Amino acid sequence: MSRVYNFSAGPAVLPEEVLREAQEEMLDYRGCGQSVMEMSHRSKVFDDLINETEADLRELMQVPDNYRILFMQGGASLQFAMIPMNLMKHGVADYIITGQWAKKAWQEAQKYGTANAVASSADRTFSYIPDCSDLPIDERADYVYICENNTIYGTKYKKLPNTKGKLLVSDVSSCFLSEPVNVSDYGILYGGVQKNIGPAGMVISIIREDLITDDVMPFTPTMMKFKTHADANSMYNTPNCYCIYMCGKVFKWIKSLGGLSAMKARNEEKAKILYDFLDESRLFHGTVVKEDRSLMNVPFVTGDKELDAVFVKAAEEAGFVNLKGHRTVGGMRASIYNAMPVEGVQKLVAFMKEFEREHAGLE
Ligand SMILES: *Cc1c(COP(=O)(O)O)cnc(C)c1O
């Protein structure tokens, strides 16, 4: 068996230990004679599983008691609509546009009310996080929306915006569980799990309890009401059972490594190896302002599109896969999520150094 180093932005690498455990339990989960994929979501076994999964996440993130954790389908993209439908009581919300995902969420919200773009970094291809200390927050705004880690551009908020007392809603898809967070700073934080937690097909949303009500837009489909899912403990309809199971395993893996502080230290160590090299390289350079760099997604270029393509191909042949940048920006991007081992980043950098020795003169 030969596994590659997978730098995909999502679906993305999972811890090998977790995959092995799932393999062991594939035919018989804890002596019940069936796979989690086959069992009823109404069974006691599954009920215990989902409750344990939620409890582990609660412990990892120290989620306060007045927050609910919902496991829902439709990916992060469905939340772009669910959030305004459930939260826009006054028909107004403020969005900070730091990339494609924030922009998509903002465009979706415009269908349901007035969605203001109160700041944007579009002027410099989203290569930085705008100053959010004194934004023109609308007095009527029901919430302020951010995308906290910008998967495509590789930027991350190092400080949350000053929302002037308004509720903060954050898409944390690509930085979920990468470091400790203070859940109470948010009204909602949510993310698709396929970036940093589990297989594709689910979103986890952590929502302050008082925001889960029947007071939603009148046309809101039953399945798009937070309350529907909260009242049914995320099992109003058949949930993504296997994904919940896999996420649960990843939560236990993170706990075994020491929780989110340990995860942060590990992620900082990995990111430093790559950024330090990019800062000194004669061939490669990062595309993001230093103070806003993401620990998770690291975009870089050689400055020559053809050489970028040569690099991506050579890297793939050497076992470093999915390094091609997002189709809208080009270049390269290394996603170094929680499950990427330090060794994967060290080896990538060694490979980049070798490539540089061979190609730097040809620039
Ligand atoms: C990938 C991603 C999304 C979209 O997720 P889907 O689950 O495919 O809808 C949204 N936001 C961010 C920040 C992402 O990285």
What structural domains does the chain harbor?
16-256 (3.40.640.10), 259-362 (3.90.1150.10)
Higher pLDDT, 326 or 259: 259
Mean pLDDT across 206-210: 98
Distance 68 CA to ligand 1 centre (A): 21
pLDDT digits (tens, 9 = 90+) for 72-116: 999 999 999 999 999 999 999 999 999 999 999 999 999 999 999
Mutate to test the pocket of ligand 1, among 173, 176, 333 (most ligand atoms within 8 A of CB): 173
Q: Which pLDDT belongs to residue 2?
A: 85
Residue 275, phi then psi, degrees to nearest 5: -65, -40
Distance 192 CA to ligand 1 centre (A): 6
Positions marked active-site = 101, 171, 195
Q: Are 161 and 139 in contact (CB under 8 A)?
A: no
Mean pLDDT across 273-278: 98
Mutate to test the pocket of ligand 1, among 72, 73, 77, 176 (most ligand atoms within 8 A of CB): 77
Mutate to test the pocket of ligand 1, among 106, 147, 149, 151 (most ligand atoms within 8 A of CB): 151
Distance 140 CA to ligand 1 centre (A): 28
The token pair that represents 280 in the structure block: 């000194």
Q: How far apart are the first and last CA of the chain?
A: 37
pLDDT digits (tens, 9 = 90+) for 145-186: 999 999 999 999 999 999 999 999 999 999 999 999 999 999
Pairing of the two strands 67-72 and 203-208: antiparallel
DSSP structural state of residue 145: E
Q: Which pLDDT belongs to residue 86?
A: 98
Residues 6+ apart with CB under 8 A from 19: none
Instruction: State how far the Cα of 297 lies from the Cα of 283, in Å rounded to an integer.
Output: 19
Residues 6+ apart with CB under 8 A from 135: 94, 96, 118, 119, 144, 161, 162, 163, 164
The answer, yes or no, to whether residue 308 has pLDDT greater than 70, is yes
Distance 18 CA to ligand 1 centre (A): 23
Q: Which pLDDT belongs to residue 169?
A: 98
Q: Is 256 exposed, middle or buried (0-12, 13-18, 19+ CB in 10 A)?
A: exposed
Nearest CA to ligand 1 atom 2: 173
Q: Which pLDDT belongs to residue 167?
A: 98
Q: Are 202 and 193 in contact (CB under 8 A)?
A: yes
Residue 6, phi then psi, degrees to nearest 5: -105, 110
pLDDT digits (tens, 9 = 90+) for 27-53: 999 999 999 999 999 999 999 999 999
Ligand 1 is surrounded, with C-beta below 6 A, by: 10, 75-77, 101, 147, 151, 171, 173-174, 192, 195
Nearest to 207 by CA among 228, 238, 230: 230
The answer, yes or no, to whether residue 360 has pLDDT greater than 90, is no
Mean pLDDT across 294-301: 98
Q: Where do we find the tokens 């076994």? A: 45
Mean pLDDT across 253-265: 98
Helix (H) or strand (E) run with residue 347 in it:
helix 342-359
Q: Which pLDDT belongs to residue 189?
A: 98
The answer, yes or no, to whether residue 289 has pLDDT greater than 90, is yes
- Ligand 1 atom with minimal separation from the 150 CA: 13
Q: Which pLDDT belongs to residue 363?
A: 47
Mean pLDDT across 18-22: 98
Nearest CA to ligand 1 atom 12: 173
Number of neighbouring beta carbons within 10 Å of residue 59 = 12
